[in-house]
Amino acid sequence: MRSLIDIADLTVEEIDGLIATAEDIIKDPDKYAEKCRRKKLATLFYEPSTRTRLSFESAMIELGGSVIGFSEAQSSSASKGESVADTARVISCFADIIAMRHPMEGAPRVAAMNASIPVINAGDGGHNHPTQTLTDLLTIKREKGRLSHMTVGCCGDLKFGRTVHSLLEAMSRYEGVDFVLISPEELKVPEHVRTDILNAGRVKYRETESLQEAMPELDILYMTRVQRERFISEADYVRLKDTYILTPDKLETAKKDLSILHPLPRVNEISVAIDKDPRACYFRQVMNGKFIRMALIMKLLEVE
């Protein structure tokens, strides 16, 4: 039985396989409509979510399965003091697979160690978000036709932004991917990302505070929200939140075939004036999230 806690749990071949399945689902969704008949997904969300939870739920429904779960810790027995380990054991009696989001880093791993069904990490604190990364990879593949030989700029909150941590891990395993990490000094990538991924000798990267300086060389621009909920000081958040606001004039030096991604929700970091630019991929990215989660659920449930 397999879980997905960290994107590194999947080999590059497996990721490519999931992307191929997702592309086939997009072509012929009817073929998959009964694949998970009588199977249940439990969504255990201890932190707010719109896209991730609802895309997991629609993924399971479109596979013919059903969904149970909760969308806030307050409505679960966590509010009575139940441990994640116990909740995981209990849910294993009801469902076939779990998608869990939790503010505590490592909570989904604890769940996986105690559940007798597969567990998917739907975001743990400021740590990892592997299914967002699968969504991002499918998006890049569909927009660019490849996942190798490109320059990827990650901009914004690289310290607390879990989606960036998982994306760096995944893309560092494809050939010829260079990173430009664009953030204010205080929001640079954390030490564990630096040691495990950036300095492990697998990738070329550079860091800058200037989005304008980086823009001309980028093939992908991955914008992120400053993660207010992870700040200790509200004053720091207020000072840093609008460091980068992507407006049409800033795209003047960008490549014609740049792809702009954002895991969403956006706050101020991308002006709505960008939305109609064909290079804006973030709403197509949302749609891809459902298809790749369908592929992942089938893989972990070992459905043919």
Output 230 or 255, the one with its CB closest to ligand NCD.
230
Say whether the peptide bond before residue 265 is cis (omega within 30 degrees of 0): yes
Which entry of 35, 53, 101, 127 is annotated as an active-site residue? 101
Catalytic site includes residue 52? yes
Size, binding site for ligand NCD by CB under 6 A: 11
For ligand NCD, which residue of 225, 241, 290, 293 counts as binding (CB under 6 A)?
A: 225
Output 93 or 232, the one with its CB closest to ligand NCD.
232
Which entry of 43, 52, 87, 151 is annotated as an active-site residue? 52
Which entry of 35, 109, 129, 159 is annotated as an active-site residue? 129
Is residue 264 a contact point for ligand NCD (CB under 6 A)? yes
Catalytic site includes residue 262? no
Query: Distance between CA atoms of 28 and 37, rounded to whole angstroms?
Result: 18
On whether the CB atoms of residues 97 and 3 are closer than 8 A, the answer is no
Output 35 or 129, the one with its CB closest to ligand NCD.
129
For ligand NCD, which residue of 114, 128, 132, 172 counts as binding (CB under 6 A)?
A: 132
Is residue 123 a contact point for ligand NCD (CB under 6 A)? yes
Is residue 243 a contact point for ligand NCD (CB under 6 A)? no
CB of 243 to ligand NCD, least distance (A): 15
Is residue 52 a contact point for ligand NCD (CB under 6 A)? yes
Closest CA to 120 of 9, 259, 251: 9
Is residue 230 a contact point for ligand NCD (CB under 6 A)? no
Closest CA to 292 of 176, 129, 178: 129
Please provide the DSSP assignment of 87-103 as one string: HHHHHTTT-SEEEEEES
Output 5 or 39, the one with its CB closest to ligand NCD.
5
Measure CA 235 to chain center. Answer: 27
* Helical spans, DSSP H, in 72-129: 84-91, 107-114
Pairing of strands 150-155, 220-223: parallel
On whether the CB atoms of residues 216 and 255 are closer than 8 A, the answer is yes
| Other CB atoms within 10 Å distance of the CB of residue 266 | 17
In what side-by-side order are the strands of the sheet with 220-223?
Answer: 204-208, 177-182, 150-155, 220-223, 259-261
Using CB under 6 A, which of the segments 147-155, 210-218, 231-239, 258-266 binds ligand NCD? 258-266
Over its C-alpha atoms, the chain yields an Rg (Å, rounded) of 19
For ligand NCD, which residue of 139, 163, 183, 243 counts as binding (CB under 6 A)?
A: 163
Catalytic site includes residue 80? yes
Question: What residues act catalytically?
Answer: 51-52, 80, 101, 129
Binding site for ligand NCD (CB under 6 A): 51-52, 123, 129, 132, 162-163, 225, 263-265
